[in-house]
Chains A and B, each alone.
Chain A
Amino acid sequence: MNRIVRQFAAGVAVLASVFAFCTAAAWGAAGDPPIRIGSTLALTGPLAATALVHQLTGEIYVEQLNRRGGLLGRPVEWIVKDDQSKPELARTLYEQLITVDKVELLLGPYATGAILSAMGVAQRYNKMLVHHTFGIPNLAKYDAQFPTWSLGPDPATTFPNTLFDALASTSKPPKSIAIVTSKFPSVHFMSLGAREVAKKRGLSEVIFLEWEFGNRDFGPIAARIKDANPDVLWVGAIGLEGNQLLDAMKKIDYAPKFHFYMYPAPGPMVQATEAKNALAATIFEQDPPFTSNPGAAEFVKIFNERAAKAGLPYTGVETQAAASYSAWQVLEAAVTATKSLDDKVLADWLRKNRVDTVQGKLRFDGPNNYGDDLMRVKQVQNGRWVTVWPKAYAAPGAALVLP
């Protein structure tokens, strides 16, 4: 009898052990620590308006990613710190993300200066850095940095050519150009490039002006443009500068003919009546064919809703949000394909492969890991931005409107 009891007890014990092991294994799987992805954003300071777009985009992507099961079967946690629009602070915070928070993966901060700082830290710790808004490709020397703002390696030549091709295709191709530009680094070099390209294409330069970033009075600049009255006005502006110049031109009753703004604040510009027919560079607008790219339509829908809820005055997806979303797509593609979190493995894979993103296929095998220049030309038409050039990327029914 005792033997039967002992055998029964042993059986129960074995079953209990098996059950306990399975349960523990199941709990272990469910309780896997999240993969931590670290970045900073300019949540306060002068760049905060645009960084908000990146914050919103990142939150949307992480939610979507976790709904799909995360990365390598583990949930993803995004640790984002406020670099206050200060590159020197971004440097410290990236050190902190790597050494204190011990994040597995890094994502870039917003804007060229902070990305350059983060790149230095990533290089010191041999971490891969996927970033979304680096404006000066020839400064990106680290071999494990991957840009998702598809400027191409020489945007100062390629993009002005794209723009001038668009203008030359019209029935009124411009003959004279005024180039006015902020000395903000990522637009200044583009304007200098535009000068060279314009010269080579036989456009006569009637005026070239530079101002310091942060200039408050655009009245005299507007007056000089009015005096020169060019066929095309190239404005090397970033953020609000484009609006400030437009406003100053309106006040002296001057409407430029063709007028192009490098990186305008999309909301304020599209809402300004004087911005009618203004041109700008873009990598994504929420119209076909862009919305046919992987994940684009869903992202646009969610972003529009969230941006409205967050109280953003401009709720559309354009360059900033698309570059940001692409960065997350690139990171996910590399981890999923290699089944690894090893920075070297991921970087090697990215250098050899193309990644489908909302802005199109990105490659990283050119100089400084830059691929194609995917920048297009958009125009303000009927109070919204529409892509107008190249024709293959024009929004349905949209064409470049003449002045």
Chain B
Amino acid sequence: MALPSASLLAQSILSGLFIGALYGLLGLGLSLSWGLLRQINLAHFALAFLGAYLCYQLSSVGGMDPLATMLVIVPGFFGIGVALQWVFSRFRISPFNSLLVTFGLTVIIESVIQSLWTADFRRLNSSYGDITFRIGALYVPLPELLTLVLSLVMSLAIWATLRHTDLGRAMRAAAQDGGIATAFGVNQKGLALLLSGVCAALAGVAGVCIALSYTLAPAQIYAWIGVVFAAVMLGGLGRALGPLIAGIVIGVSESITMAITAPSWAPLVSFSLLIVVLLVRPGKV
């Protein structure tokens, strides 16, 4: 096995960093809803792709700047998230049942996407896609860089909110013991609605990032589930920075694997890491 050149290795690590950031961004909303709302929300992936298609539509047909589509998508998805939480709360859906319900919702959203945009591939052609920066021997594509920046900003903002604000403390308290939190005056229902809205809005942001970098097809909703779940579990449920860090670890590990050995080994990385962490630090996952 020949060793890769330094530039190949560095470019591969950069590539892993970028895809890891997307794992992290997709995982952030999932982790918050799983950890703080006790909902395993599979529909998060479908919402992200719905966001990607909306970005495509608003940008390709409506002529909007792809990043500006977030001004429409984020509030809209916040509303969807609130409505979803209201339904979950109204029908007292348990964590396990939430998995089934959101899987059903995923299938419905996939069908809606297919009926609106057909099953054929769609690609957003934006001016961002043609911009690549060069740093020495390294190439840094703008869409991936934007994903990394957005992922960092969102993760840090939510981490800071959860850790340093009364709102965040109330959310963590409600997740830890809803009854006691309510006794201390925390509006558990309101917080749950807010958090669910934020999670769905995060899916919308991830969707815009997907639309900027990837060709879209409805069935691709499912292609991300395994690795993002691994990132969420490795990063810890309900933790804001966890999915990003775990996502980057997975992404970079996959990329180094692809640069050094056969690329077909790469998919083993995420789950091997998960198994190793489960064996070594079972309480941390």
* Residue in B closest to A84 when the chains form the complex, CB atoms: B219
> Measured between C-beta atoms, what is the minimum distance from B9 to chain A in Å?
9
Measured in the bound complex, the distance between the Cα atoms of B15 and A212 in whole Å is 18
Q: Report yes or no: B15 in contact with A217, Cβ–Cβ below 8 A.
A: yes
* Residue in A closest to B261 when the chains form the complex, CB atoms: A209
Q: Report yes or no: A215 in contact with B11, Cβ–Cβ below 8 A.
A: no
**What B residues does A164 contact at CB under 8 A?**
none
Within 8 A of A (CB), among B1-54: 4-5, 7-8, 11-12, 14-16, 18-19
Within 8 A of A (CB), among B256-285: 256, 258-259, 262-264, 266-267
A72, CB-defined interface residue at 8 Å: no
Q: Report yes or no: B219 in contact with A223, Cβ–Cβ below 8 A.
A: no
* Residue in B closest to A219 when the chains form the complex, CB atoms: B15
Measured in the bound complex, the distance between the Cα atoms of B265 and A375 in whole Å is 32
The 0/1 profile, CB within 8 Å of B marked 1, for residues 64-108 of chain A is 000000000000000000000100000000000000000000000
Measured in the bound complex, the distance between the Cα atoms of B40 and A121 in whole Å is 39
B118, CB-defined interface residue at 8 Å: yes
Q: Report yes or no: A221 in contact with B263, Cβ–Cβ below 8 A.
A: yes
Measured in the bound complex, the distance between the Cα atoms of B271 and A212 in whole Å is 15
B120, CB-defined interface residue at 8 Å: yes
Measured in the bound complex, the distance between the Cα atoms of B267 and A177 in whole Å is 26
The 0/1 profile, CB within 8 Å of B marked 1, for residues 199-229 of chain A is 0000000000111101111011101101100
Q: Report yes or no: A267 in contact with B266, Cβ–Cβ below 8 A.
A: no
Number of interface residues of A (CB under 8 A): 43
Measured in the bound complex, the distance between the Cα atoms of B122 and A267 in whole Å is 9
Measured in the bound complex, the distance between the Cα atoms of B222 and A155 in whole Å is 32
The 0/1 profile, CB within 8 Å of B marked 1, for residues 298-319 of chain A is 0000000000001111100000
The 0/1 profile, CB within 8 Å of A marked 1, for residues 199-237 of chain B is 000000000000000110111101110010000000000
Q: How large is the interface on B (under 10, 10 to 19, 20 to 34, 35 or more residues)?
A: 35 or more
* Residue in B closest to A252 when the chains form the complex, CB atoms: B139
**What A residues does B110 contact at CB under 8 A?**
44
Q: Report yes or no: B120 in contact with A217, Cβ–Cβ below 8 A.
A: no
**What B residues does A13 contact at CB under 8 A?**
none
Measured in the bound complex, the distance between the Cα atoms of B5 and A49 in whole Å is 39
Pick from A46, A243, A265, A310: contact of B219, CB under 8 Å: A46
Measured in the bound complex, the distance between the Cα atoms of B11 and A226 in whole Å is 11
Measured in the bound complex, the distance between the Cα atoms of B218 and A164 in whole Å is 36
Pick from A214, A220, A251, A272: contact of B12, CB under 8 Å: A220
Q: Report yes or no: B8 in contact with A183, Cβ–Cβ below 8 A.
A: no
> Measured between C-beta atoms, what is the minimum distance from A243 to chain B in Å?
6
> Measured between C-beta atoms, what is the minimum distance from A198 to chain B in Å?
19
Of the listed residues A45, A223, A243, the one surrounded by the most CB atoms of chain B closer than 10 A to its CB is: A223
Q: Report yes or no: B223 in contact with A223, Cβ–Cβ below 8 A.
A: no
- Contacts A211-B263, A215-B263; is A49 near B217 (CB within 8 Å)? yes
Measured in the bound complex, the distance between the Cα atoms of B8 and A331 in whole Å is 53
Q: Report yes or no: B123 in contact with A268, Cβ–Cβ below 8 A.
A: yes
Q: Report yes or no: A313 in contact with B264, Cβ–Cβ below 8 A.
A: no
Main secondary structure, interface of B, reads helix
Q: Report yes or no: B258 in contact with A220, Cβ–Cβ below 8 A.
A: yes
**What A residues does B7 contact at CB under 8 A?**
223
**What A residues does B259 contact at CB under 8 A?**
220, 223-224
- Contacts A251-B141, A252-B139; is A221 near B258 (CB within 8 Å)? yes
> Measured between C-beta atoms, what is the minimum distance from A129 to chain B in Å?
24
Measured in the bound complex, the distance between the Cα atoms of B19 and A283 in whole Å is 37
- Contacts A214-B223, A223-B12; is A52 near B5 (CB within 8 Å)? no
Within 8 A of B (CB), among A229-267: 240, 243-244, 248, 251-253, 265, 267
Q: Report yes or no: A310 in contact with B15, Cβ–Cβ below 8 A.
A: no
**What B residues does A51 contact at CB under 8 A?**
119
- Contacts A220-B255, A243-B215; is A212 near B266 (CB within 8 Å)? yes
**What A residues does B223 contact at CB under 8 A?**
214, 216
* Residue in B closest to A244 when the chains form the complex, CB atoms: B215
Q: Report yes or no: A48 in contact with B121, Cβ–Cβ below 8 A.
A: no
**What A residues does B66 contact at CB under 8 A?**
none
A123, CB-defined interface residue at 8 Å: no
**What A residues does B11 contact at CB under 8 A?**
219-220, 223, 252
A162, CB-defined interface residue at 8 Å: no
- Contacts A227-B4, A227-B5; is A313 near B122 (CB within 8 Å)? yes
- Contacts A44-B111, A224-B8, A240-B217; is A311 near B118 (CB within 8 Å)? yes
Pick from B114, B218, B255: contact of A219, CB under 8 Å: B255
**What B residues does A244 contact at CB under 8 A?**
214-215
Q: Report yes or no: A45 in contact with B120, Cβ–Cβ below 8 A.
A: no
Measured in the bound complex, the distance between the Cα atoms of B258 and A211 in whole Å is 9
A291, CB-defined interface residue at 8 Å: no
Q: Report yes or no: B120 in contact with A312, Cβ–Cβ below 8 A.
A: yes
**What B residues does A47 contact at CB under 8 A?**
219
> Measured between C-beta atoms, what is the minimum distance from B32 to chain A in Å?
23
**What B residues does A271 contact at CB under 8 A?**
123
**What A residues does B220 contact at CB under 8 A?**
46
- Contacts A217-B258, A268-B123, A310-B118; is A223 near B15 (CB within 8 Å)? yes
**What A residues does B258 contact at CB under 8 A?**
211, 217, 220-221, 224
Q: Report yes or no: A52 in contact with B118, Cβ–Cβ below 8 A.
A: yes
- Contacts A223-B8, A251-B139; is A44 near B119 (CB within 8 Å)? yes
**Between-chain CB contacts (< 8 Å), 16 pairs:** A44-B111, A44-B119, A44-B218, A48-B119, A48-B218, A49-B118, A215-B267, A217-B15, A220-B255, A223-B8, A227-B4, A227-B5, A248-B15, A310-B118, A311-B118, A314-B120
Having A52-B120, A224-B4, one finds 10 other A-B pairs with CB under 8 Å, namely A44-B110, A49-B121, A51-B119, A219-B11, A220-B258, A220-B263, A227-B8, A243-B121, A251-B144, A252-B11
Q: Which 4 A-B pairs have the closest CB atoms?
A: A219-B15, A48-B119, A220-B258, A220-B12
- A residues sitting closer than 8 Å to B (CB atoms) are 43-49, 51-52, 85, 183, 209-212, 214-217, 219-221, 223-224, 226-227, 240, 243-244, 248, 251-253, 265, 267-268, 271-272, 310-314
